[in-house]
Amino acid sequence: MVDFIEHNVRDVSEKITRIAKDCGRDRNEIKLMGVSKFHPLEMMIEASRWVDLLGENRVQEASEKRAGWSVGNKTPWHLIGHLQKNKARKALETFDLIESVDSFELAQTLDRILEKTGRESFPVFIEVNMSGETSKNGVAPASVPGFFENVLAQCPRLRVEGLMTLGPLTEDERSIRTAFSGLRDICVAMRAEFGLPLPELSMGMSGDFAIAIQEGSTIVRIGTAIFGPRNL
């Protein structure tokens, strides 16, 4: 029933290997995330055998699925969708990492809950809106340095490990590439300015992961190409 998942992951993984090779990158520095939103828990469990990470968009859906997850299954879960402040506590209980920190208020809320619940640190990425599309969340590129400064000074429990973005909704390869190379440049600048390792660049989905890898992605977030179309 769910055999197709192994097949699809192999297929995507082979593509990643080939793209990495063609642009002179080490395949081992690229992780494959299965984005399982709107798909049943059964498919996540199967995918967890083949992917490096799992990604979910909505806290409610993920927390219901989490209830059926076995503690022995160590495949990490990342939140990749917009997080409302009133779901922050539940998100911290459900996920291993939050990729979608997109406002300083949210960062403060997360830090406050971590303090109250006695957790020393929690890994996050900062989501950056590289396309400028108003439908997308994320910190504006020009605001990223100030954002880092504020988070480092005022949210000591958040461990910023990377940046995340969504490519623009277009077929135009050049603007997709510009968005991804732009995020890489910001990441390099933030490493230098704040002395952080900042190892992860989460960018690339089913339709644009080749370009993302060529521009330095370390996490590709793949939904449709692994699980098929979503039943909305």
At its nearest, how many Å lie between ligand PLP and the CB of residue 59? 13
* Rounded Cα–Cα distance for residues 34 and 122 (Å): 21
Comparing CB distances to ligand PLP, the nearer of 80 and 186 is 80
At its nearest, how many Å lie between ligand PLP and the CB of residue 231? 13
* Rounded Cα–Cα distance for residues 121 and 111 (Å): 9
Comparing CB distances to ligand PLP, the nearer of 78 and 158 is 78
Strands, DSSP E only, in the chain?
31-35, 53-56, 77-79, 97-101, 122-127, 158-164, 200-202, 219-222
Of all residues in the shown chain, the one whose CB is closest to ligand PLP is: 223
Q: Helix 173-194 crosses helix 144-154 at what angle (to 10 degrees)?
A: 40
Q: Which residues of this protein are in contact with ligand PLP, per CB under 6 A?
A: 35, 37, 57, 80-81, 166, 205-207, 221-225
Comparing CB distances to ligand PLP, the nearer of 34 and 114 is 34
Comparing CB distances to ligand PLP, the nearer of 145 and 207 is 207
Cβ–Cβ contacts within 10 Å for residue 220, how many? Answer: 27
Comparing CB distances to ligand PLP, the nearer of 107 and 219 is 219
List Cα–Cα distances, 168 to 20, 109, 205, in angstroms: 22, 29, 11
At its nearest, how many Å lie between ligand PLP and the CB of residue 57? 5
At its nearest, how many Å lie between ligand PLP and the CB of residue 47? 13
Comparing CB distances to ligand PLP, the nearer of 114 and 213 is 213
What string of DSSP letters covers 158-202? EEEEEEE----SSS-HHHHHHHHHHHHHHHHHHHHHH-----EEE
* Rounded Cα–Cα distance for residues 75 and 105 (Å): 29
At its nearest, how many Å lie between ligand PLP and the CB of residue 145? 23
At its nearest, how many Å lie between ligand PLP and the CB of residue 178? 19
